[in-house]
Structure 1
Amino acid sequence: MDTTAAFTGLRCTGCGERVVGDQGDEAEVGASDGESSGSVVVSGRCPDCDAPLDADYDYDALAADLDRAAFAPRPRDGVWAVDALLPFPAETAVSVAEGATPLVLAPRLTDELGVAGVLVKDEGRNPTGTVLDRGFSVAVTAANAADATDVAVAEPGDGGQSMGSYAGRAGMRPHSFTPSRSTFLNKAMTNVHGGEMRVVGGRYPDAVEALADGWMDDWTDLMPFTTPYRHEGQKSLAWEVAAGTDWDLPDALVVPTGTGEVLYGVWKGFRELAEVGLVEVGELPRLYAAQPDGCAPIATAWERSLDVPEPWGPPDTICGELEVPDPPGGSLALDALAESEGGAVAVDDEDALEAAVVAGHHEGLEVSVNAGIAFAGAWELADEGAFDGDETVVLVNREAGVKTADLLRSHLMGQGV
């Protein structure tokens, strides 16, 4: 498997040991002295402690080779613009020009939050309309390099469509287990991309259970934090924020959070910019996780000072993409909040709907209800005194408004519009 020069392999986020192994083989814990077998685990968790795995790099070597100019926005390259900080070289990438999404100034929201500036990182402009495209590009690249023929996930909706797009481009067969409450758009486009979709009655946990029951030996698992590469792709969002603000990093990011994939990946991206000497640790932004109050395991764990979120049950929110009762990256997300000196907030579905409508009406942005959680969360944080008025705040619009157009329209109809 062709990997980049500074990539040294995978390390367990729990016990810290290096993990080596070939695709299709059980991962083994190797020596932690930096030695690598040259093989790469495409999916799996630590065989000793079952914690997620994380890509590791020789940051000293990268510090000598990277400068800020390397991160200048290049729409054609997107996520792969700085492949030195990814496991695989850009020439091997399975890519549909994901990433390089705009940072949009939101003057109305700036005034309403009473801060120096609000910028929206508009991930709805990715190829399948979701921030998850960043992660699937890297994860499918890993699977492709390992000659995988079939890839599989259970996802609330966006992930099935996204994986289908990248797997189809790579000539793989995608298998998606999708809850029946997923949107028609996601289901339809999963099929359009050639995905074998199994619609499962119930909610996301039911889809996860169905995946486990229907698992085939020749499938490669691309679930978040089972493959170490989905959150690795999310690092690129942090790089783009840094370059897009001319390296005057924002003070805070508010991230809609479900599995923890995006939140943890973004924090790793910022942290690595400090590791290679391009920014100071003290300059890194605070991260805030925003969740619906009908399914807020990470926000509740933060409030209770827990190290690991307790499973949420039963969930009750219209924000299907964020309805993850037992987030696989929950502990890593909490670590990111603590390390960034940020926090978490849970908001009502109605507030998320209203925030998404306000963003569309006054800022011209197409924001889904799942992304509206971040906008409503920022209002809640402002009310709680999290901002002192001098900050620049970035809101992550995790998906296009069309994903939940029926919910947004129903909200308006309820207001007599």
Structure 2
Amino acid sequence: MSSFEGFRCTDCGTTHATNEVATRCPKCGGTLDATYDHGAVDLTRETLADRSGGWKIEELLPIVPEGMGEGATPLIDAPRLADELGVGRVLIKNEAHNPTGSVTDRGQALVAAAAAAADADTLALPTTGDDGQSAAAYAARAGLLSRVFVPSRANFINKAMINVHGGDMRVVEGRFGDAREAYETEREELPAAENEEWFPAGAFDSPYRHEGLKPIYYELVEQMDFERPDAIVAPVGHGETVAGLWKGAREFDDLGLVDGTPRLYAAQPDGCAPIVDAIEADTDPEPWDVPDTVVGSLEIPDPEGGLPAVEAVRASGGAGVAVDDQDLLDSAATVAQHEGLEISVACGTAAAGAWELMEDDAFNADDTVVIVNTATGNKDADIVRSRLMGRGL
């Protein structure tokens, strides 16, 4: 039985009833977060062993999607990386195994289910690429339309698959900020003109995207026989992955399923690192003036979940780490060559971050470190290959 209590605005503190399908706070427009009565949750390690699938902990979800096989992704040992980092164990949580090849499938599955429950017609969002492809896929699955505003520099695979899934794609010249501006401009006009009810599918535009990422933590802990990792290094764009990991970690600790919580490390390219800057300066995130990185999925100059991500990292005892584009491309290639795993350049950011953290003595010799691979490597393999060719390899 679900322990879901409703939604609470993280800005003004207003609570909203459980029977509402929520987007943003109707009082102040702030970000909503799902709340639960943990005292009503009766979960044991044995009961979890008898369940399967990415949504098997229904007690800690506001809505349970039918989905299409997202979640339950593998946790892969990386012994050579562990040796190179000088730690006890390195594990890679491989989100490339989701239906459209990225971690955003988890959140979009919940978004699509909520949109259908709200009798919406259309999922709509600005995107750097991956979440637009995912939204188009889950909209198609739910019998909804999708309208996706994507910058021209987004990769070909994302743009092609948005069209293949039947999405209405607006390619906006420029970068993510330009796509978001176009979305905001047309959000008030297009739905009325097309007689549509839009449901926002962007990060933190509803409580469902970041809530859908909590199971990453549930799964990796269960895959580790309920031994928590010492550290998790995750690439950060909007901040939803780190925020979801931290919420999942606190829930499992509160429920007594795991003792304690891990340190979280947020990794960003140094050409667009507003969250890392805020963590290091002990301030709230400020928009990045001139974003410039080869990691298009992480080129988010004004992240919607910047503050939740910063607060999660601080509360966990972790840190932020910004890495050079060339280093992160080299790290993506190293993981492929040393462990056989085809990771995204976003994960290359996390891997390069792990090496920098090692040099800063952030890890202990017996630590277990989890690196989150947020997407399949073939979406941006051409960038990594170009780097190798530039090095004569």
- TM-score by structure 2 length? 0.95
- Find the aligned partners of 2:66 and 2:176 in 1 and give their Cα distance: 27
Cα shift at 1:369? 1.1
Cα shift at 1:368? 1.5
Task: Spell out, residue by residue over 1:262-305, the C-alpha distance to the aligned partner (whole angstroms, 9 max, x if none).
Answer: 1101110111112222223xx21000000000000000011111
- Find the aligned partners of 1:408 and 1:103 in 2 and give their Cα distance: 23
2:215 corresponds to: 236
- Find the aligned partners of 1:132 and 1:356 in 2 and give their Cα distance: 20
Partners of 2:285 and 2:307 within 8 A in 1: yes
- Find the aligned partners of 1:55 and 1:182 in 2 and give their Cα distance: 31
1:264 corresponds to: 243
Cα shift at 1:59? 0.9
Residues 103-252 of structure 1 mapped to structure 2, 5 A cutoff: 103-215=75-187, 216-217=190-191, 218-252=197-231
> Identity across aligned pairs (percent)?
51
Change (3 A) 1:341 1:403: same
- TM-score by structure 1 length? 0.90
The AA in structure 2 aligned to 1:154 is P
- Find the aligned partners of 2:319 and 2:357 in 1 and give their Cα distance: 9
SS of 1:55's partner is strand
- Find the aligned partners of 2:249 and 2:50 in 1 and give their Cα distance: 16
2:56 pairs with 1:81? yes
The AA in structure 1 aligned to 2:185 is D
Cα shift at 1:194? 1.1
Partners of 1:132 and 1:159 within 8 A in 2: yes
Residues 15-414 of structure 1 mapped to structure 2, 5 A cutoff: 15-19=12-16, 36=17, 38-45=18-25, 47-48=27-28, 50-62=29-41, 65-72=42-49, 77-78=53-54, 80-89=55-64, 93-215=65-187, 216-217=190-191, 218-280=197-259, 283-306=260-283, 308-414=284-390
- Find the aligned partners of 2:2 and 2:147 in 1 and give their Cα distance: 32
Partners of 1:74 and 1:100 within 8 A in 2: no
Task: Spell out, residue by residue over 1:52-76, the C-alpha distance to the aligned partner (whole angstroms, 9 max, x if none).
Answer: 11001111101xx21123434966x
Cα shift at 1:46? 5.5
Where do 4+ consecutive residues of structure 1 move more than 3 Å? 70-75
The AA in structure 2 aligned to 1:232 is E
The AA in structure 2 aligned to 1:300 is D
- Find the aligned partners of 1:409 and 1:288 in 2 and give their Cα distance: 27
Partners of 1:46 and 1:53 within 8 A in 2: no
- Find the aligned partners of 2:366 and 2:295 in 1 and give their Cα distance: 31
Cα shift at 1:120? 0.3
Task: Spell out, residue by residue over 1:212-252, the C-alpha distance to the aligned partner (whole angstroms, 9 max, x if none).
Answer: 11113421111111111000000000000110100111100
1:8 corresponds to: 5
- Find the aligned partners of 2:172 and 2:106 in 1 and give their Cα distance: 26
- Find the aligned partners of 1:204 and 1:187 in 2 and give their Cα distance: 14
- Find the aligned partners of 2:392 and 2:313 in 1 and give their Cα distance: 40
The AA in structure 2 aligned to 1:227 is S
Partners of 1:73 and 1:244 within 8 A in 2: no
- Find the aligned partners of 2:226 and 2:360 in 1 and give their Cα distance: 28
Cα shift at 1:39? 2.8
Cα shift at 1:42? 3.0
Partners of 1:123 and 1:397 within 8 A in 2: yes
SS of 1:198's partner is strand
- Find the aligned partners of 2:105 and 2:43 in 1 and give their Cα distance: 25
